[in-house]
């Protein structure tokens, strides 16, 4: 497969949230930042390889082989992110773009060795699950920080927005995976939050709170 074909497979997987649901070509074009006509041409190629089901004017879905291929690409991407953070001291806002390049390495033996070197991690630096060699992964029953009630306590387990600018905001405010926090107050006007985190209080906008995945805990 070409790098472009792999990028399309991964995009369809993410748009379908890992399912075999039908996705419109316009949605794929928007995610890939290209023309619908280019998407149509690519879908015909992927269909010929047995990776997608494509019907004109209806949309596209991944075949079982397409899902397996997408999970393999995602596994490589997320393992490389862990490697870059843990072994090379990159920050979590730097690793995505580099992993986008490394995910296209074909050597299965190399990826298996990388997995072993990292002690078989289950989650990447952003809290996303890493598929195993056979495509299995742990699904967390997460909630967004904006959804939990006042007075509740939670631990930060992931981010919905993994853009570099958002991750730099979190670093600037010392918010990281594993942080324990308690909702002190929710502003009725704009749904912004005041939270207690690491022996300090912090005000967060609804936009920020809607991009942090947490798991509720009892303190």
Tens-digit pLDDT profile for residues 201-211: 999 999 999 99
Q: Which range marks the domain in which residue 19 is found?
A: 3-62
pTM of the model: 0.87
Given a cut of 70, whether residue 185 has pLDDT beyond it is yes
CA-angle at 39, arms to 38 and 45, nearest 5°:
95
- CATH for 52: 1.10.10.10
Given a cut of 90, whether residue 218 has pLDDT beyond it is no
Nearest-angstrom CA–CA distance, 122 and 90:
19
Q: Cβ(63)–Cβ(52) under 8 Å? A: yes
Residue-wise pLDDT for 105-117, tens only, equals: 999 999 999 999 9
* 68 found inside a domain: no
Q: Place 199 in a pLDDT band, splitting at 50, 70 and 90.
A: confident
Split into its structural domains, the chain has a count of 2
* 67 found inside a domain: no
* 205 found inside a domain: yes
* 128 found inside a domain: no
- Is residue 9 classed exposed, middle or buried when 0-12, 13-18 and 19+ CB atoms within 10 A define those classes? buried
* 80 found inside a domain: no
* 26 found inside a domain: yes
* 58 found inside a domain: yes
**For position 19, what pLDDT does the model report?**
67
């Amino acid at each position: 497969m070409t790098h472009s074909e792999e990028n399309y497979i991964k995009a369809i997987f993410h748009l379908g949230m890992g399912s075999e649901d039908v996705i419109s070509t316009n949605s794929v074009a928007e995610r890939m930042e290209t023309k619908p006509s280019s998407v149509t041409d690519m879908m015909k190629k992927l269909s010929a390889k047995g990776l997608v089901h494509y019907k004109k004017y209806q949309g596209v879905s991944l075949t079982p082989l397409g899902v397996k291929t997408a999970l393999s690409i995602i596994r490589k991407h997320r393992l490389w992110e862990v490697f870059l953070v843990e072994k090379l001291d990159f920050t979590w806002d730097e690793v995505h773009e580099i992993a986008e390049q490394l995910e296209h390495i074909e050597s299965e033996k190399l990826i298996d060795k990388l997995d072993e070197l990292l002690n078989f991690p289950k989650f990447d630096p952003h809290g996303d699950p890493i598929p195993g060699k056979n495509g299995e992964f742990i699904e967390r029953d997460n909630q967004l920080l904006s959804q939990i009630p006042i007075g509740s306590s939670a631990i930060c387990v992931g981010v919905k927005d993994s853009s570099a600018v958002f991750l730099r905001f979190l670093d600037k405010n010392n918010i990281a995976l594993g942080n324990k926090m308690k909702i002190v107050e929710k502003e009725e006007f704009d749904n912004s939050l005041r939270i207690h985190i690491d022996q300090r209080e912090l005000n967060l906008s609804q936009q920020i709170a809607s991009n942090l995945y947490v798991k509720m805990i009892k303190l």
